[in-house]
Amino acid sequence: MGATRIPGNITQGSTAKGGIGESTLRPDGTLKVTGEFAYSSDMWHEDMLWGFTLRSPHAHAEIKSIDTSEALAQAGVYAVLTYDDLPTDVKNYGLEIQDTPVLAHGRVRHHGEPVALVAADHPETARRAAAKIKVEYVQLPVVHDEQTALAEDAPLLHPGRDDHHAGHVPHPNVVHRQPIHRGDVAAARARADVIVSGEYVVGMQDQAFLGPESGLAVPAEDGGVDLYIATQWLHSDLRQIAPVLGLPPEKVRMTLSGVGGAFGGREDLSMQIHACLLALRTGKPVKIVYNRFESFFGHVHRHPAKLWYEHGATKDGKLTHMRCRIVLDGGAYASASPAVVGNASSLSVGPYVIDDVEIEAVALYTNNPPCGAMRGFGAVQACFAYEAQMDKLAAELGMDPVEFRRLNAMSQGTLLPTGQVVDSPAPVAELLRRIKAMPLPPERQWETAGESADVRALPGGLSNTTHGEGVVRGVGYAVGIKNVGFSEGFDDYSTARVRLEVVGGEPVAVVHTAMAEVGQGGVTVHAQIARTELGVTQVTIHPADTQVGSAGSTSASRQTYVTGGAVKNTCEAVREKVLELGRARFGSYHPAWATAELLLESGKVVTDGGEVLADLVEVLEGEAIDLELEWRHRPTEAFDLHTGQGNGHVQYSFAAHRAVVEVDTELGLVKVVELACAQDVGRALNPLSVVGQIQGGTTQGLGLAVMEEIVVSKEAKVRNPSFTDYLIPTILDTPTIPVDVLELADEHAPYGLRGIGEAPTLSSTPAVVSAIRAATGLALNRVPVRPEHLTGT
């Protein structure tokens, strides 16, 4: 019963107008507001089975035995798979280090690790059958922090490591270590009139995308499998999936289905391999959808971190030096930990000029939940700490915190601690000036014309805990720096295929990439680029799949830059082909074909002087021009493993925030009244989307500041895997977010654009905490700030 539902045409041809720089609406927007957009959890196939994953109840245990017989005997159960059923010698996967078992082999290393799989005719049947699998565990000592991880007799998470970081780390429970040394810290320290230091803690944040991990695997007649999936990077998934299945990549055909948010949490695999294994075993389509509880175990989280910092400054407010040590808890498997270490270390200085630094960042292997990519990774943790330090220094020097930051702000030409020159605009001082110049929101907004208070404007909100008594306002500022694109020598490229042809008498461009649209608006921008470069109105966005080359990951703020750059590049090549055709067909009729700069505008070939030479329809006649090309940004280099020197990054993104909070000092409750943001975006390809990204990132930063934390016990167990206990901002928690967009072009980037998605997530958190400090006078060295941190109870 029911029609088969797969993403045949996720985004159809758009009639929306608009080239780059215009606030064109989303081509997939109508499908999204009518409920027709097919998310991965909406995939449906006749006769499909439902998969379920049995997970470890322990954080660290040896598996003595697994008995699946009772589960298999259940009516409606088609397959039960364990490690022993894996079809090839490839039994692990991973983004950079292949250390993650597809199914546990003799040992589980974290709470919620997948142990066995069930396929059944109903999701409840599968769940109940999984409960009948008998796993005999013997619990092992738990590694849960730096001390237990690096102890001499610490249990090793991954004994016998042979990955490329294994040789240089100081302990096998360290995934990766990156030191950075520059200048002479001892001499610089001696020049300092004031020195401040502090230890800062960032809790474990969750991406908490609303669309749970899900997908549909359909076995194919050729022995392969078709996988409809929500992910951030189809080709990275494919590289990890195919070897485990023992299939050549071309037999694992992946199509992106609707993605219900990502924020880094879909950079790693979740149920992809599991669904394929069950489908290939049973010969039937298999759908897996995680429930919310399981989703908290089904993806990596933001690395919790401990950060120790020391800064010095002279009396006149110039920074002398910085020393820091950043310890990131990577949990049981490596995931993106090495890249998180790279970002945290290389951006630990913040957007400031400091010539003398000693930096060390490490990521640990522990039995805590695995941590990896989340919006702004590495840079988010560092920003909370260095911005707290800036406030401390300013206070120590008796200076205005914004003026102190402006005095030390980096700019174009600044040398980073890695020895890399910032070679595009870095308007840090200007962003700070703008954010401070914005008008402040009115005071005491809870006061109404009548006798009653509008408690929505007060800490505690509808709980009606105060009508203004004990409420103190605070204002705080922060600024941050995030790298854009994949760094440290990674071959970061994207592929775009563009087809131009005449359909129904009108030229139509079809843009085909493997870019994961996760809500960032990449498909909107692709259509805009095609309109601008090819002078067409009609653009069709082909569903993203693995039938075209890789588009890289929808992460690191890179997609508009890199896949947008690829679409632009392919469009330019298509345009050249059009002009070649035109010259061949009409070149003899007008000398401008040979001499003038030619453009495609409004369906016509025109000279740069605006003279029309031919209709695109006439030039193309019956021909279609169809090109697929790769495009790369400037290459980067790895950081030296001892000195940290190297041109590791390709671009930076800067945002500054001002937070205004009201704090109920008696109950420790916080109301964020306003979070203003100023950000340089290079060039706003779609101003409406740009503001949306900035407001979204800002909101997630607010969540980390005062609400969001996965609580992990000393036994390394997750304590709050639900939206009742893990709180994300609601519409009532979210303040007004005025946005000031600066556009200083980066000459190295397509259209001068800057990747923008992550920067607003960085400075939002420290700005809110700075405002709470201003209101309360408390030190507040950890996020999220909880009521007990404010009341001291």
Partner 1 sequence: MGAMTAVTLHINGERFSRELDNRTTLLDLLREHAHLSGAKKGCDHGQCGACTVLLDGRRVNACLLLAVSMDGTDVTTIEGLSDGNALHPLQQAFLDHDAFQCGFCTPGQICSAVAAIAEARAGWPSVVTAQDEPEGPVELTAPEVRERMSGNLCRCGAYVNIVSAVREVAR
Question: What does 277-325 look like in DSSP terms, one character per residue?
Answer: HHHHHHTS-EEEE--HHHHHHHS-EEPPEEEEEEEEE-TTS-EEEEEEE
Question: Would you call 626 exposed, middle or buried from its count of C-beta atoms within 10 A (0-12, 13-18, 19+)?
Answer: middle
Q: Does 264 bind partner 1 (CB under 8 A)?
A: no
700 is a contact residue toward partner 1 (CB under 8 A) = yes
* Cβ at position 710, least distance to partner 1 in Å: 15
37 binds partner 1 (CB under 8 A): yes
Q: Is 47 in the site for partner 1 (CB under 8 A)?
A: no
Q: According to CB under 8 A, which residues from 402 to 421 bind partner 1?
A: none
Nearer to partner 1, 513 or 524 (CB): 524
Give CA torsion, residues 689, 693, 698, 700, to 10 deg. Answer: 130
**Three-class SS of residue 363?**
strand
Pull the structure tokens for residue 278: 């069950």
The reply to whether 45 sits near partner 1 by the rule CB under 8 A is no
Does 689 interact with partner 1 (rule: CB under 8 A)? yes
Binding mask 465-504 for partner 1 (x = CB under 8 A): ----------------------------------------
Q: Which of 133, 208, 354, 742 binds partner 1 (CB under 8 A)?
A: 208
**CA–CA separation, 344 vs 350, rounded Å?**
10
Q: Which of residues 124 and 469 has its CB atom nearest to partner 1 in the complex?
A: 124
Q: What is d(CA 460, CA 343) in angstroms, rounded to the nearest whole number? A: 36
33 contacts partner 1 (rule: CB under 8 A): yes
Distant-in-sequence, close-in-space partners of 482: CB < 8 Å, separation ≥ 6: 343, 347, 376, 379, 557, 652, 653, 654, 758, 759, 762
Bridge partners, 255 (sequence order): 228, 545
Which residue's CB is nearer to partner 1, number 314 or number 736? Answer: 736
462 burial level (CB within 10 Å; 0-12, 13-18, 19+) = exposed
Asked if 41 interacts with partner 1 (CB under 8 A), we say yes
* Minimum gap (Å) between residue 736 Cβ and partner 1: 7
Distance between the two ends of the chain, CA-based, in angstroms?
58
65 is a contact residue toward partner 1 (CB under 8 A) = no
CB 194 within 8 A of CB 377: no
**Looking at 547-624, which runs of residues are DSSP E strands?**
598-601, 604-607, 612-615
Q: How far is the CB of 439 from partner 1 (least distance, A)?
A: 17
Rounded to a whole number of angstroms, the minimum distance from the CB of residue 25 to partner 1 is 6
Q: Does 711 bind partner 1 (CB under 8 A)?
A: no
Based on the shown chain and the rule CB under 8 A, indicate whether residue 661 belongs to the binding site for partner 1: no
Instruction: Note whether 452 binds partner 1 by CB under 8 A.
Output: yes
Kindly tell me which of 295 and 770 has the beta carbon lying closer to partner 1. 295
Pick 38 or 129: Cβ nearer partner 1: 38
17 binds partner 1 (CB under 8 A): no
Residue choice 6, 20, 39, 674 for contact with partner 1 (CB under 8 A): 39
Neighbours of 391 (CB within 10 A): 21
| Counts for the chain of helices (H) and strands (E), in that order | 19, 31
Closer to partner 1 by CB, 258 or 378: give it.
258
Which of 261, 419, 468, 603 touches partner 1 (CB under 8 A)? 261
Segment lying near partner 1 (by CB under 8 A), choices 362-370, 436-444, 451-459, 634-642: 451-459
DSSP state of 769: H
Query: Is residue 18 at the binding interface for partner 1, with CB under 8 A as the rule?
Result: no
Kindly write out the interface string for residues 727-756 of this chain, putting x where it contacts partner 1 by CB under 8 A and - elsewhere. -xxxxx-x-xx-------------------
Selected binder of partner 1 within 692, 715, 743, 780 (CB under 8 A):
692
3 versus 398: smaller Cβ distance to partner 1: 3
Token pair of 530, please? 């095609």
Strand partners for 50? 120, 287
Give 23 or 236: the residue with its C-beta nearer to partner 1: 23
Number of residues that bind partner 1 (CB under 8 A): 68
Nearer Cβ to partner 1 (369/703): 703
**Other CB atoms closer than 10 Å to residue 538's CB: what's the count?**
18
Asked if residue 522 binds partner 1 (CB under 8 A), the reply is no
292, 325, 433, 748: residue in contact with partner 1 (rule CB under 8 A) = 292
Q: Is 122 exposed, middle or buried (0-12, 13-18, 19+ CB in 10 A)?
A: exposed
Structure tokens at 756: 């923008």
Is the distance from CB of 775 to CB of 473 less than 8 angstroms? yes
699 binds partner 1 (CB under 8 A): yes
Q: Concatenate the DSSP letters of all residues of 632-644 into one string.
A: E-----PPPTTT-
Q: What is the DSSP string of 459-504?
A: TTGGG---SSTTEEEEEEEEEEEEEES--TT---EEEEEEEEEEET
Cβ 207 to partner 1, closest distance in Å? 8
Contact set with partner 1 (CB under 8 A): 2-3, 5, 23, 25-26, 28-30, 32-39, 41-42, 44, 124, 207-212, 258-263, 289, 291-292, 450, 452, 454-457, 462, 518-521, 688-689, 692-693, 695-700, 722-724, 728-732, 734, 736-737
